[in-house]
């Protein structure tokens, strides 16, 4: 057995695990981002049906910024959970 084959035998499982964890993380974050954006667009569409005076009052109250904050918080929480689980996956 040569040194190159030995090193490849040591490194290959790590590379496969890293690529697998990266792929799962990207799909999870991408899916959650798509779901949050869809929910925000539904909220904005439903708010579009209310009278203009009420919409202006809600805008002054910051409800539209609040929707963005909540969506960002959900996305950040999922990203942090993914990073934490990836760390646990590699450091056992």
* Domain ranges within the chain, ordered by starting residue: 27-90
Sign of the CA dihedral with 79 first, then 80, 85, and 88 last: positive
pLDDT at 38: 92
pLDDT at 92: 56
pLDDT digit string (tens) for 2-37?
887 877 787 777 777 777 777 777 777 788 888 888
Nearest Cα to Cα of residue 25 among 91, 87, 70, 71 = 87
pLDDT at 60: 93
pLDDT at 90: 60
Q: 15's torsion region: left (phi>0), alpha (psi -120 to 50) or beta?
A: alpha
* Helix pair 63-90, 3-47: axis angle to 10 deg: 160
Task: Give the predicted TM-score (pTM) of the model.
Answer: 0.60
pLDDT digit string (tens) for 26-84?
777 788 888 888 988 898 888 778 888 888 898 899 988 998 899 889 888 887 877 77
Q: Give SS3 for 91.
A: coil
User: 40, 67 in Cβ contact below 8 A?
Assistant: yes
pLDDT at 1: 67
Between CA 34 and CA 26 the distance in angstroms is 12
């Amino acid at each position: 057995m040569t040194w190159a084959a030995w090193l490849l035998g040591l490194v290959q499982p790590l590379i496969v695990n890293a690529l697998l964890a990266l792929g799962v993380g990207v799909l999870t974050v991408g899916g959650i981002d798509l779901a949050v954006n869809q929910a925000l667009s539904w909220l904005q569409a439903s708010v579009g049906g209310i009278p203009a005076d009420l919409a202006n009052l809600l805008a002054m109250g910051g409800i539209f910024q609040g929707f963005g904050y909540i969506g960002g918080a959900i996305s950040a929480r999922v990203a942090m959970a993914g990073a934490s689980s990836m760390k646990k996956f590699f450091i056992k």
